Amino acid sequence: MKGILYSSALAAAILAHAGCASSTVVAPQGPQAMATILPKSGSTVTGTATFTELSTGGVRVHVHVENAPPGHHGLHVHEKGDCSDPKAMSAGGHFNPGGLPHAGPMDLKRHAGDLGNIEIKSDGKGDLDISSDLLTLKPGPNCVVGRSVVFHENADDLKTQPTGNAGGRLGCGVIR
């Protein structure tokens, strides 16, 4: 009987430890869409943007940029999935299916495409991780697939209408 209790306790300890160990394993991700950011307006900016559907609703956005000028730069989803123009003007305006004012990514009333600013370090690289409850990968008015992500010349002031005074378009990628 003592051996059975010891074995049961050992098995429980092993299972508890395995449970703890498995908590560090990354759960499978939901559906994803991606964009490759290419240089525009004579810049050298390159990067990627990954959009992952969250099980709780909304989308997680991860953007990685390289070869960019140091500082803060506006980052937005734009309405059209067209980066063919040399200055990315073919991407249209900010993605705004709700017809709301331009604002920061944490403001309740904002463009769906308002992602805020990405900080570029002195080595020309930067990353932004943000979640948005206004975006989806599912078909519908807030779907980002078939739109574009644009890296801007200046910081977004998060208030000037309709663009945040973010300036020219230094990088653009179509979300697929």
Give the list of residues 6+ apart from residue 9 with CB closer than 8 angstroms, or none.
Answer: none
CA distance 13 to 137: 42
What average pLDDT does this structure show over 60-68?
98
Helices marked H in the chain — which ranges? 2-22
Assess contact for 96 and 112: CB atoms under 8 A.
yes
**84-110 per-position pLDDT tens digit:** 999 999 999 999 999 999 999 999 999
Say whether pLDDT at 5 is over 70: no
Q: Both tokens of residue 173? A: 């990628």
pLDDT at position 30 is 74
Q: Beta partners for 149?
A: 77, 173
Task: Return the residue matching tokens 């078909």.
Answer: 139
When pLDDT is cut at 50, 70 and 90, the band that residue 31 belongs to is confident
Number of residues that make up the chain: 176
CB of 37 closer than 8 Å to CB of 173: yes
- Who contacts 102 (Cβ-Cβ below 8 Å, separation ≥6)? 94, 110, 111, 114, 158, 159, 160, 161, 162, 163, 164
Which has the closest alpha carbon to 136: 103, 95, 107? 95
Q: What is the pLDDT of residues 141-168, one digit of tens each?
A: 999 999 999 999 999 999 999 999 999 9
The residues pairing with 64 across neighbouring beta strands, listed in sequence order, are 48, 127
